[in-house]
């Protein structure tokens, strides 16, 4: 007998609440392997895939330089989080430098 995803979500909820997969599978007369598969599928739907995420940027106050900036660089603090890494950059950074840094930290090893 085929069950709807909503039914599986209810059954998986029993396992997530602490019941054993085998006990829940027996009680509902389904294979434990099928219950494990549904649990993994429903978990994937709930949890976003790990990866890059954008963080809010707050500018406290403008930074004034003593001389005109002709290189189009900006004095700032930038926090990059990619996978398990967190990089904090401070100081003048041009758009080209930021692009190169971002590309380097997001490139697969």
pLDDT tens column, 39-92: 999 988 876 656 666 677 766 666 665 555 555 555 567 777 766 667 787 777
Q: What is the mean pLDDT of the chain?
A: 78
3-state secondary structure of 42: helix
Q: Contact 32/15 with Cβ under 8 angstroms?
A: no
Instruction: Work out how many domains the chain is built from and give that number.
Output: 2
Across 7-11, 12-16, 73-77, 89-93, least confident range? 73-77
Strands of 1-109, DSSP E: 74-82, 85-93
Same domain (yes/no): 69, 93: yes
Same domain (yes/no): 105, 57: yes
Q: Which domain holds residue 88?
A: 51-109
Looking at residue 54, its pLDDT comes to: 67
Same domain (yes/no): 25, 73: no
Tally Cβ neighbours within 10 Å of residue 109. Answer: 3
Q: Contact 78/88 with Cβ under 8 angstroms?
A: yes
Same domain (yes/no): 10, 63: no
CA distance 9 to 40: 11
Across 15-24, 35-44, 97-106, least confident range? 97-106
Same domain (yes/no): 70, 19: no
Same domain (yes/no): 92, 73: yes
Looking at residue 44, its pLDDT comes to: 82
Same domain (yes/no): 55, 28: no
Predicted structure pTM score:
0.44
């Amino acid at each position: 007998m085929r069950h709807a995803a909503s039914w599986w979500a209810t059954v998986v909820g029993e396992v997530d609440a602490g019941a054993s997969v085998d006990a829940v599978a027996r009680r509902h007369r389904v294979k434990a392997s099928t219950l494990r598969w549904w649990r993994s599928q429903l978990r994937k739907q709930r949890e976003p895939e790990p990866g890059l995420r954008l963080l809010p940027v707050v500018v406290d106050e403008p930074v004034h330089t003593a001389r005109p900036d002709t290189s189009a660089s900006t004095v700032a603090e930038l926090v990059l989080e990619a996978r398990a890494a967190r990089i904090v950059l401070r100081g003048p950074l041009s758009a080209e430098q930021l692009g190169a840094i971002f590309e380097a930290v997001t490139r697969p090893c």
